Copies of this chain bind each other. A is one copy, B any other.
Amino acid sequence: MTKANLQLLSLNQITTENWSLSEAIQGCARHDIHWISIWRHKLEKIGVKEARKLLTEYGVQVSSLCRGGMFPAATERERQQRIDDNKRAIEDAKTLGTDVLVLVCGPAPDKNIKQARHWVEAGIEAILPYAEELGVKLGIEPLHPMYAADRSVINTLGQANALTECLQSDHLGVVADAFHIWWDPELEQQIARAKGKLLGFHVSDWKVPMRDMFKGRAMMGDGVIDLRAMRGMVEEAGYHGPIEVEIINQEIWDQPGDDVLHQMKQCYQAHV
């Protein structure tokens, strides 16, 4: 299989967590990276209008905004607050000019994971009309089952696909992140099932031993995931959009951002 198209490489800004959004946008421009995925905790610091200005100035496009979601909560009132927050995220996504708001759906507030999964469905249903109105697409990103207790009760591409099939909208799809789904015995079938619904493809790697369950992601090529094969599946399912490099790793964060971007481009070409 051929190498991935360098024009599609996107810096998911968590990969350079020590950079501000302004630094990350300028870093992309300096390294000829055309896309960036923006995180809201970074966006808040400069505001969405300033961010938009910088993006235009440096000619960088936004592949996605990360993140909406976090729907389950113990009380009705809290769940409503989450929905309101998701609506603000949809507005920010529109202002930034990105198609996609990534949904990290959230953990259960108690031992009832089944109930939490229903709340996720209800939450997406509640925000979907607003996303449609503003022309922003919602991308359900299943997280690895090891995050089922503290980050998301949506843990397989199968679940995410079932949600899109149930809620039926041109503005609802799924995001395939290699780190979260590589182990899935149904990987090929579920990527194929997502045909026409894939809104993103994220890459990093799974390296053994993993010393930190949250900050343990590795640079592409350093682990066990056959990223190129997975890109083939994703393209076969009709996805030809930006490919985000999303690496949550303290050691990588501690390196100078320019070094990380340089290495990331090389590894993207060698392994994706």
Interface residues of A (CB under 8 A from B): 108, 111-113, 117, 144-146, 148-150, 155-156, 158-159, 182-185, 206, 208-210, 213, 223-226
A150 and B209: CB pair below 8 A?
A: yes
Residues of B within 8 A of A145 (CB): 144-146, 183-184
The residue that A213 contacts in the complex, of B155, B158, B213, B226, with Cβ under 8 A, is B213
Given contacts A155-B185, A183-B155, contact A208 B146 (CB under 8 A): no
Given contacts A159-B185, A183-B155, A210-B213, contact A224 B149 (CB under 8 A): yes
A156 and B144: CB pair below 8 A?
A: no
CB of A252, distance to nearest CB on chain B (Å): 19
CB of A134, distance to nearest CB on chain B (Å): 30
Number of copies: 2
CB of A143, distance to nearest CB on chain B (Å): 10
Q: Which of A113, A150, A155 gathers most chain B CB within 10 Å?
A: A113
Given contacts A145-B184, A155-B183, 9 further A-B contacts (CB under 8 A): A112-B226, A144-B145, A145-B145, A145-B146, A146-B146, A146-B213, A149-B208, A149-B223, A149-B224
In the assembled complex, the Cα of A117 lies from the Cα of B11 at a distance in Å of 34
Residues of B within 8 A of A155 (CB): 183-185
Residues of B within 8 A of A183 (CB): 113, 145, 148-149, 155
Q: Which of A149, A206, A225 gathers most chain B CB within 10 Å?
A: A149
A111 and B226: CB pair below 8 A?
A: yes
CB of A184, distance to nearest CB on chain B (Å): 8
A111 and B185: CB pair below 8 A?
A: no
The residue that A144 contacts in the complex, of B111, B146, B225, with Cβ under 8 A, is B146
B185 and A117: CB pair below 8 A?
A: yes
Residues of B within 8 A of A226 (CB): 111-112
Give A180's nearest chain B residue, CB to CB. B145
B225 and A111: CB pair below 8 A?
A: yes
CB of A137, distance to nearest CB on chain B (Å): 23
Residues of B within 8 A of A184 (CB): 145, 155
A224 and B108: CB pair below 8 A?
A: yes
The residue that A149 contacts in the complex, of B156, B185, B206, with Cβ under 8 A, is B206
In the assembled complex, the Cα of A182 lies from the Cα of B153 at a distance in Å of 11
